[in-house]
């Protein structure tokens, strides 16, 4: 099954704003599980039906999408110039027009790319993917899209320009209150700091294992190591405060960020960073940002949702522990260096300007991976086993996604969006090889070209059967 999409360069109609930092977003399509059809899993439906309840949800999520395409810029420039601009200040007015267009369509043009927009917050990954497709097709026409890319040559700059999209996470305030009541005598600021600490530490020690959800081709783009540097790389040259130079953070350290989230800009060009960046003179609410993403939301939002589930398990574990206890997944000391070396290779951060290495090959190469503290789901079910020796990063990735895939009844796996994306990636097929199908992964009748799913797909017990 394959479609050839026409490349559309000019938005024809504005759509409502979907700023992900607008926490009062109440668009009805975000809360109606019926709109998602057969593609929605039962646990996603529970989150939507029981929206903003800590039993089911840890974070709201957001997404910034960037696509750099000289054709888009040139076409818009020509159309606008000929139709409404004088030649003397066409470029200046074009930028004003483009900025306005992005804001109306729910984006925020920051000068980093000719087509970048933000949306959210959403509670489940499928909501993010659906809103993305609705914005695209509502603007460009049903089933009209472009050829997705993670980098493009820009003639005006004489070089390849990366197209990085970013994922955002913010703990729901119900968890702030719960931690405040159970750990800090009702002090909401400390409860908020604890929630952000668990979120940060969980992403620091698990996001590397889910990189296939965020890598478009067989490797990350050339600029990935610059825009999303592994945490140990930046030093005084980036003017980082000393409190940033530790991978895992303490509650007291994070509280310094959460207490003044509207006064200081904390965003850095790191693999994972706090972000409350300035937009039009105003700080938006503090989030933890995962900067290394090049995939469209139809792929990346699956990984984002899985990370939120790991955070939820960390939150629930913390309820029965003191504030300074470790309840988030924590790498063993000997595995920290392995993970850092792995990130150096796949992001190309060990030498800026160097080419990142193939992702799946390096996932199989780097190991073993051991956790001092695992990730235990309710019922004492381990998503990440403590003190268990994972052979390599791919082994860890496989075990995490298998724990998401296997609970779905066999007869339903082929129709569920999450299972479709997992199936593609465990067979080590980069999304780029399914460039047409990534736009259709939520459709009722669907299958991959390079990793077709049987009617009742089953993952093997061991990842070794797939490599």
pLDDT at 144: 66
Rounded to whole angstroms, the Cα distance separating 306 from 132 reads 19
Picking from 310, 316, 256, the residue whose alpha carbon sits closest to that of residue 286 is: 256
Would you place residue 46 in the very low, low, confident or very high pLDDT band (cuts 50, 70, 90)? Answer: confident
The DSSP bridge partners found for residue 407 are: none
pLDDT of residue 387: 95
pLDDT at 351 over 90: no
Distance CA 304, CA 297 (A): 9
Q: Is residue 73 predicted with pLDDT exceeding 70?
A: no
Mean pLDDT confidence for 292-297: 92
As a whole number, mean pLDDT of residues 85-93 equals 39
Of all residues in the chain, the percent with pLDDT exceeding 70 is: 71
- 391 — pLDDT class (breaks 50, 70, 90): very high
Residue 411: φ, ψ to 5°: -70, -15
Confidence check: pLDDT of 206 > 70: yes
Q: Do residues 239 and 198 touch, judged by C-beta distance below 8 A?
A: no
Residue 434: is its pLDDT beyond 70? Answer: yes
User: What is the structure's pLDDT at 5?
Assistant: 40
Place of tokens 């039993």: 55
Give the angle 243-244-249 at the CA atoms, nearest 5°. 80
The two three-digit tokens of residue 356, written as one number: 């990142």
| Mean pLDDT score across all residues of the chain | 78
Long-range contacts of 348-351 (CB under 8 A, 24+ apart): 348/220, 348/222, 348/224, 348/225, 349/224, 349/225, 349/226, 349/229, 349/230, 349/233, 350/225
| One-letter-per-residue 3-state SS of the chain | CCCCCCCCCCCCCCCCCCCCCCCCCCCHHHCCHHHHHHHCCHHHHHHHHCCCCCCCCCEEEEEEEEECCHHHHHHHHHHHHHHHCCHHHHHHHHHHHHHHHHHHCCCCCCCCCCEEEEEEEECCHHHHHHHHHHHHHHHHCCCCCCCCCCEEEECCCCEEEECCEEEEEEECHHHHHHHHHHHCCCCHHHHHHHHHHHHHHHHHHHHHHHHHHHCCCCCCCCCHHHHCECCCCCCHHHCCCHHHCCCCCCHHHHHHHHHCCCCCCCCCCECEEEECCEECCEECCCEEEEEEECCCHHHHHHHHHHHHHHHHHHHHHHCCCCCCCCCCCEECHHHHHHHHHHHHHHHCCCCCCCCCCCHHHHHHHCCCECEEECEEECCCEEEECCCCCECCHHHHHHHHHHHHHCCCCHHHHCCCHHHHHHHHHHCCCCHHHHCCHHHCCCCCCCCCCCCCCCCCCCCCCCHHHHC
Q: According to the model, what pLDDT value does residue 264 have?
A: 61
Residue 345 has pLDDT above 80, yes or no: yes
Give the span between the Cα atoms of 35 and 23, in whole angstroms.
Answer: 21
HSE-up of 69 (CA within 13 Å, CB side)? 17
Which is higher by pLDDT, 99 or 386? 386
The predicted pLDDT at position 9 comes to: 36
Pairing verdict, β 59-67 and 165-171: antiparallel
pTM of the predicted structure, to 2 decimals: 0.85
pLDDT at 99 over 90: no
- Total number of residues shown for the chain: 467
Residue 203 confidence class, pLDDT cut points 50, 70, 90:
very high
Closest listed residue to residue 233, CA positions, set 325, 359, 378, 352: 352
What domains, with CATH codes, occur in the chain? 28-466 (3.30.590)
Place of tokens 């960020």: 257
Distance CA 180, CA 186 (A): 5
d(CA 444, CA 414): 10
Lowest mean pLDDT among 292-296, 338-342, 376-380: 376-380
Question: Dihedrals φ, ψ of 35, to 5°?
Answer: -70, -20
What was the pLDDT predicted at 265? 61
**Residue 183's CB: how many other CB atoms inside 10 A?**
19
């Amino acid at each position: 099954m394959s479609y050839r999409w026409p490349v559309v360069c000019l938005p024809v109609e504005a759509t409502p704003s979907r700023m992900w930092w607008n926490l009062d977003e109440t668009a009805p399509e975000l809360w109606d599980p019926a709109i998602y059809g057969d593609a929605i899993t039962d646990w996603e439906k529970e989150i939507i039906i029981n929206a903003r309840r800590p039993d089911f949800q840890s974070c709201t999520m957001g997404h910034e999408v960037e696509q750099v395409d000289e054709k888009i810029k040139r076409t818009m420039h020509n159309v606008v110039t000929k139709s409404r601009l004088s030649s003397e200040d066409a470029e200046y007015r074009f930028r004003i027009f483009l900025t306005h267009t992005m804001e109306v369509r729910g984006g925020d043009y920051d000068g980093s790319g000719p087509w970048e927009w933000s949306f959210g917050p959403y509670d489940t990954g499928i909501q993010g993917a659906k809103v993305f497709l609705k914005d695209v097709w509502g603007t460009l026409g049903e089933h009209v899209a472009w050829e997705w890319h993670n980098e493009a040559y820009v003639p005006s700059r004489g070089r390849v320009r990366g197209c990085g999209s970013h994922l955002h996470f913010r703990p729901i305030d119900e968890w702030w209150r719960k931690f405040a009541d159970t750990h800090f005598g009702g002090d909401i600021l400390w409860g908020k700091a604890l929630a952000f600490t668990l979120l940060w530490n969980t992403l620091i020690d698990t996001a590397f294992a889910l990189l296939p959800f965020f890598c478009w081709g067989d490797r990350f783009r050339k600029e990935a190591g610059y825009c999303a540097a592994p945490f140990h790389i930046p030093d005084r040259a980036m003017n980082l405060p000393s409190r940033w130079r530790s991978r895992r953070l303490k509650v007291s350290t994070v509280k310094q960020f959460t207490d003044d989230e509207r006064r200081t800009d904390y965003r850095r060009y790191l693999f994972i960073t706090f972000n409350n960046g300035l937009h039009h003179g105003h700080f938006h609410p503090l989030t933890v940002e995962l900067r290394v993403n090049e995939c469209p939301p139809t792929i990346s939002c699956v990984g984002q949702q899985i990370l939120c589930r790991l955070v939820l398990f960390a939150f629930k574990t913390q309820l029965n522990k003191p504030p300074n206890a470790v309840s988030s997944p924590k790498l063993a000391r000997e595995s920290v260096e392995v993970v850092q070396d792995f990130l150096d290779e796949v992001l190309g951060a060990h030498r800026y300007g160097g080419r990142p290495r193939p992702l799946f090959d390096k996932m199989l190469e780097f190991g073993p991976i051991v956790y001092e503290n695992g990730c235990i789901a309710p019922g004492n079910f381990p998503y990440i086993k403590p003190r268990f020796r994972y052979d390599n990063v791919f082994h860890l990735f496989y075990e995490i996604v298998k724990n998401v895939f296997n609970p779905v009844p066999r007869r339903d796996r082929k129709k569920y969006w999450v299972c479709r994306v997992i199936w593609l990636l465990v067979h080590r097929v980069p999304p780029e090889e399914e460039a047409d199908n990534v736009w259709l992964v939520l459709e009722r009748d669907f299958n991959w070209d390079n990793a077709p799913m049987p009617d009742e797909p089953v993952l093997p017990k061991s990842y070794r059967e797939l490599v």
